[in-house]
Amino acid sequence: MANVTIDGHQVEVPAGTTILRAAKQAGVEIPVFCYHPGLSIPANCRMCLVEIEKNPKPQPACYTEVADGMVVHTTSQKVKDTQAAVLEFILLNHPVDCPICDQAGECVLQEHYVTWSAQPSRLEHEKTGKPKAKILGPTVVLDAERCINCTRCVRFTEEVTKTFELTQIVRGEHAEITCAEGKVLDNPYSLNVVDICPVGALTSRQFRFRRRVWFLDMRPSVCTGCGRGCSVRIDSHANQVERIVPRYNPDVNRYWMCDDGRESLRRAGSVTSGRVPGPNEQPREAPGLDGVRAVGGWLKAAHDAGTKVGFALSASLANEDVYAWARLARLTDARMYLLPRAAGRADTVLRTADADCNTTGARAILGALFGSVGGGAGWGDAEDLAREADMLDTLVVVDNGIAATPDVLGAVSAIRHTAVFTDKATALSDAALAVVPTVQLHARDCTVTNVGGWVQRVARPLKAPVTAVVPHAAAALLADLAGDVALDFTEKTRPAELFERLAGAVPAFAGLTYDEIGDLGRGLPRDGGLAPRRLRLDGTPAWEPDPVAPTAERAFQIRRGA
């Protein structure tokens, strides 16, 4: 350990800690541009220069390691003059287009200029011009005149994706970031360079000029595009998702997320009306509650006649949904099936082949309530459903992207009474006799469990259609309609309370609550206790990046008062 004094604050940190990290722990802010905690340290912007006693020259805080007894000054006149000079050089050729720049409102350069410079330009000759609105690939646009050559984007393609699309050419004031010869910026994680750009040089082609950041409603949530369950921030406006950016979580995705995950929620449809059989079995449009009543009638008739009922659940439903429908299935002696999405594309960065966001949670819940997969007493999969379809009189499918394989479609088409609860029109809903619109995950409070057993809370940035029903509430309503089945919850039970019942009934979730899960999530219990969170150097939970937040999170943290 090393004892260091930074601006009069004494702090003890492990040997090898940089001055920047030590200063963060001491509550001292040091400005940076090129530094990013998820990338290597080039120390090329010189914005973080600090004065060290007995050292003749200022040193970069992001790179220089502490030593026992070191005394550091970050607010001395020498440091202030250095910071002002660095900002003046950076701004010499920088265009003053803040009113039209997408980065305005969350721009590190704006913040640093106001805090550490705020001096007018002394430039007397014409500014050096560089390309504007240069297309780097299908997702990213470069305004090179705004670029400060921090090389964060270059290092990302070299160190994280290892695709090497970006490079820096020329030198001095003509230095420019561009695509390497014969390449375009087209990898599954390309939009991360927009997140980490400290200025408005790299922008998303989808979000560019779409919405000012101060109009966005920002909510912490979870990506439901695959089994990784990346922690994200969902930015919405007027009940529309405008963009999704990664949220730092050291136990799940660190600082990154894939491009497909950003698009998964924006592409999600919304079913506002369903259908039920009308007179002469002709389908008619109906709101969700009418559909629930129709399905409840089928379940009651099946119960009275002694015929078999099956419930098929998507592996991308919330933990609360799976628990509610599993409880209903147990008490009505219904056969339970767990159906997946089509397999995804795995890679070595984040993406998993499991395209479902809650396979781990769903399997743990069904395993606790029904035993092992397969067999008469257990629960089945798509193959079991296809094999047992002729035994079922009624099938209720609670969908969230289930793969419409020939086996599944054949079962839905063959069974006499089939209903699909879904938030999106699919081939399954087209084949069903009744369709009940449901509330999608991001329009309600719920939880999912990723492939590593990490439980996270899904935010509610969107408002649900009034004609749709929440899946776990639908299960409670069906319990009443199917013959007064006694569940331990009702349609009005709050998700947090339902999760507590789940945690009490499923050993894998023992000890977890919504408060315990928090913004960063919590791992399923192991060895008799909750899985530990990763901590900062000072022992506090690592809610925010240590030590410097990526650009995309700055406005979010300001709104939260962080």
Amino acid type, 285:
E
Question: Which has the closest alpha carbon to 245: 273, 219, 284, 272?
Answer: 219
Secondary structure (3-state) at 426:
coil
Q: How many CB atoms lie within 10 A of CB 184?
A: 14
Secondary structure (3-state) at 114:
helix
Q: Which two tokens stand for residue 198?
A: 């400290």
* SS3 letters across 40-65: CCCCCCCCCEEEECCCCCCEECCCCE
Question: Which has the closest alpha carbon to 213: 233, 230, 231?
Answer: 233
Angle at CA of residue 473, ends 431 and 292, nearest 5°: 40
Give the integer Cα–Cα distance in Å for 432 and 298: 14
Give the integer Cα–Cα distance in Å for 162 and 59: 30
Cα 331 → chain centroid:
35
Helix (H) or strand (E) holding 242: strand 240-246
Percent of the chain with pLDDT over 70: 90
Look at 374 and 458; give whichever has higher pLDDT.
458
Q: How many CB atoms lie within 10 A of CB 192?
A: 30
- The pLDDT, as a whole number, for residue 562 is 45
What pLDDT digit, counting tens, does each position of 520-545 carry?
888 887 655 555 655 544 445 444 44
Cα four-point dihedral sign 184, 188, 192, 194: positive
Question: What is the architecture, at CATH level 2, of domain 117-210?
Answer: 2-Layer Sandwich (3.30)
The pLDDT confidence band at residue 365, using thresholds 50, 70 and 90, is: very high
Question: Which has the closest alpha carbon to 168: 154, 157, 183?
Answer: 154
SS3 content of the chain, % helix, strand, coil (to 5): 30, 20, 50
Give the integer Cα–Cα distance in Å for 532 and 520: 12
Question: Which has the closest alpha carbon to 295: 547, 136, 141, 471?
Answer: 471
Asked whether the beta carbons of 555 and 213 are under 8 A apart, the reply is yes
Give the integer Cα–Cα distance in Å for 184 and 299: 56
Least confident piece of the model among 117-126, 232-241, 288-297, 389-398? 117-126
What pLDDT digit, counting tens, does each position of 60-79 carry?
999 999 999 999 999 999 99
- The pLDDT, as a whole number, for residue 462 is 85
Q: Provide the residue ranges of all domains of the chain, joining segments of one domain with +.
A: 2-91, 117-210, 274-439+463-491
Q: Which two tokens stand for residue 455?
A: 């439980």
The pLDDT confidence band at residue 413, using thresholds 50, 70 and 90, is: confident
Helix (H) or strand (E) holding 202: strand 202-204
Q: What is the DSSP letter of 235?
A: E
What pLDDT digit, counting tens, does each position of 458-471 carry?
988 888 888 899 99
209 pLDDT above the threshold of 80: yes
Question: Which has the closest alpha carbon to 523: 423, 434, 447?
Answer: 447
Question: Which has the closest alpha carbon to 556: 61, 186, 183, 105?
Answer: 105
Q: How many CB atoms lie within 10 A of CB 337?
A: 25
Question: Which has the closest alpha carbon to 534: 249, 164, 234?
Answer: 249
Give the integer Cα–Cα distance in Å for 397 and 408: 10
What pLDDT digit, counting tens, does each position of 251-305 carry?
899 999 999 999 887 665 566 678 888 666 667 778 888 889 999 999 999 988 8
Q: What average pLDDT does the structure give for the chain?
A: 87
In the CATH hierarchy, which fold is given to the domain comprising 2-91? Ubiquitin-like (UB roll) (3.10.20)
Question: Which has the closest alpha carbon to 454: 515, 530, 539?
Answer: 530
Cα four-point dihedral sign 536, 514, 318, 244: negative
Q: Which two tokens stand for residue 79?
A: 């440091």
Asked whether the beta carbons of 233 and 220 are under 8 A apart, the reply is yes
* Averaged pLDDT for residues 208-213: 89
Cα four-point dihedral sign 41, 42, 47, 52: positive
Which region, left, alpha or beta, applies to residue 234 given φ > 0 means left and ψ of -120 to 50 means alpha?
beta
- The pLDDT, as a whole number, for residue 532 is 60
Q: What one-character-per-residue DSSP string does 76-101 give?
A: SHHHHHHHHHHHHHHHSS----GGG-
Give the integer Cα–Cα distance in Å for 20 and 29: 8
pTM: 0.89
Instruction: Please give the CATH number for the structural domain made up of 274-439+463-491.
Output: 3.40.50.740
* Averaged pLDDT for residues 381-405: 91
